[in-house]
Amino acid sequence: MTELMLAFGSNVGDRVEQIQEAVNRLSDFGLRCNAISSCYESKAVGLTDQPDYINAAGLFNCDFNYSPFEVLKLILSIETEMGRVRTIEKGPRKIDIDLIFFGHSLINTNNLIVPHESFSVRRFVLEPLCELIPDFQPPGAGGRDLSRLLQECPDMNSSPANRGKCLTILS
């Protein structure tokens, strides 16, 4: 059984609810959520003239023997079903789901890069991940764990989002 880490973001509609729905849908397809982080709020990266994001991370196990490419296909399908439309690069979105780690796999293809290519410079990814697995040493990180990468992260653009709503894990 492979353990994988996913990052979630939303800046359209009920942002926390969008992430919760994505977590639930993943569970429906056999990606069992073992842990989910708190929510964090961050400014948009790239195209900055848009609403702030709510971000979170989840630690999942595959009930089925999914390959990383099958997980990516599932993620993209859920994003589409939830109404994500890719019209503006780095534009507003109801839901964004990124495959950050797939076990300790290193993958570099035209369609998929794992670990996610920019996870180590994005505080809104590192903070929720550190909440769940601070001692995890990502492949290709030179033996540094997530908590060390967070200390070194140049991005200072993220803060806990205490809005009275929290994410839950389906049993």
* pLDDT per residue as tens digits for the range 20-48: 999 999 999 989 999 999 999 988 887 77
Helix (H, G, I), strand (E, B) or coil at 89: coil
Query: Residue 71: is its pLDDT beyond 60?
Result: yes
The DSSP annotation for 56-101 comes to EEEEEEESS---HHHHHHHHHHHHHHTT---SSTT---S-EEEEEE
Spatial CB neighbours of 81, under 8 Å, sequence gap ≥ 6: 25
| pLDDT level of residue 85 (50, 70, 90 thresholds) | confident
Task: Show me where the domains of the chain are located.
Answer: 3-160
DSSP H/E element including 101: strand 96-102
pLDDT in tens, 130-170: 999 999 999 999 999 999 999 999 887 766 665 545 677 76
Point out the residues that are catalytic. 84, 93, 96, 98
In words, the CATH class of domain 3-160 is alpha beta
Question: What pTM was estimated for this model as a whole?
Answer: 0.91
